[in-house]
Amino acid sequence: MKFSPAYLLVLSSLRVINAQQIGQYEAEDQPYITLKECTIADGCTSRQAKLTLDANWRWIHSTSGYDNCYTGNKWSSQFCANPADCAKNCALEGVTLDKYRSTYGIKQVKDGVKMGFVTKHEYGTNVGSRLYVMDTDDTYYLPKLKNREYSFEVDVSELQCGMNGAMYFSEMDKKGGLGLGDNNAGAKYGTGYCDAQCPHDMKFIAGEANVIDWTPNPNDQSNNMGAGKYGACCAEMDIWEANSMATAYTPHPCGVEGQFRCEGTDCGDNNSNERYDGVCDKDGCDINPYRMGNTRFYGRGPEYTVNTMKPMTVVTQFLTNDGTDNGDLSEIRRLYVQDGNIIDSPPSTILGPNDADSITDEFCDDKKDLFEDVKDFQEKGGMKAMGESLDRGHVMIFSLWDDVEVNMLWLDSAYPLDKPTTKPGIKRGDCAGGENSTPTYLRDTFPDASVTFTNAAVGEIGSTYGPVIPTTPSPNPPTTTPPPNPPTTTPPPNPPTTTSPPIEGPCGSGCCSQDFSDCVSWCGKTESECLSCNQDVAWIDCPGKKCLKRWSECTGNAAGCCNGLTCLAINPDYSQCRYVEDTDSPTPSPVDHVTQSPSTTPSSVRPTPSDNCIPAGSNCFVKQKAQKKAGCDNTGCEQKVCNERESCCQSNNKWNKVCFKKAKKLCKPCPCYESSKDKFFLKTTKSKPNGIFKTCDWLTGQKPKKKKTYCKKYPSFEGTQSARFVCPVTCNIPSCVKDNAIFHR
- Nearest one of 400, 370, 389, 476 to 162, comparing CA atoms: 400
Question: Torsions phi, psi of 98, nearest 5?
Answer: -65, -35
Residue 54 DSSP code:
-
> Tell me, what amino acid is at 46?
S
- Nearest one of 143, 116, 164, 190 to 47, comparing CA atoms: 143
First to last CA, the chain: 50
d(CA 162, CA 439): 8
CA-to-CA dists, residue 509 to 7, 157, 168, 392, 545, angstroms: 62, 43, 52, 61, 12
d(CA 167, CA 241): 7
Count Cβ atoms within 10 A of the Cβ of residue 602 and give its class: 0-12 exposed, 13-18 middle, 19 or more buried: middle
Q: How many C-alpha atoms does 552 have within 13 Å on its Cβ side?
A: 19
Rounded CA Rg of the chain = 27
- Nearest one of 464, 237, 239 to 337, comparing CA atoms: 464
CA-to-CA dists, residue 188 to 14, 87, 217, angstroms: 20, 17, 28
Q: Active-site residue among 28, 241, 460, 644?
A: 241
CA-to-CA dists, residue 558 to 222, 633, 657, angstroms: 45, 40, 38
Positions of E strands within 514-644: 538-540, 566-571, 574-578, 613-614, 623-624, 629-630
Q: At what angle do helices 635-652 and 657-664 cross, to 10 degrees?
A: 160
Q: Active-site residue among 236, 331, 362, 460?
A: 236
Instruction: Centre a 10 Å sphere on the Cβ of residue 358 and count the other Cβ atoms it contains.
Output: 22
Residue 95 DSSP code:
-
CB proximity list for 585: less than 8 A, separation 6 or greater = none
Question: Torsions phi, psi of 675, nearest 5?
Answer: -120, 140
> Tell me, what amino acid is at 340?
G
644 catalytic? Reply is no
Distance from the Cα of residue 349 to its chain's centroid = 22
Distance from the Cα of residue 264 to its chain's centroid = 34
Q: Does residue 35 contact residue 48 with C-beta atoms inside 8 Å?
A: yes
d(CA 568, CA 578): 7
- Nearest one of 57, 80, 68, 72 to 10, comparing CA atoms: 72
Polymer length of the chain: 745
What are the residues facing 249 on neighbouring strands?
287
d(CA 475, CA 453): 35
241 catalytic? Reply is yes
d(CA 489, CA 594): 8
Helix (H, G, I), strand (E, B) or coil at 391: helix
- Angle made by CA atoms 604, 608, 613, in degrees to the nearest 5: 135
d(CA 699, CA 710): 8
Q: Does residue 268 contact residue 282 with C-beta atoms inside 8 Å?
A: yes
Active centre residues (catalytic): 236, 241
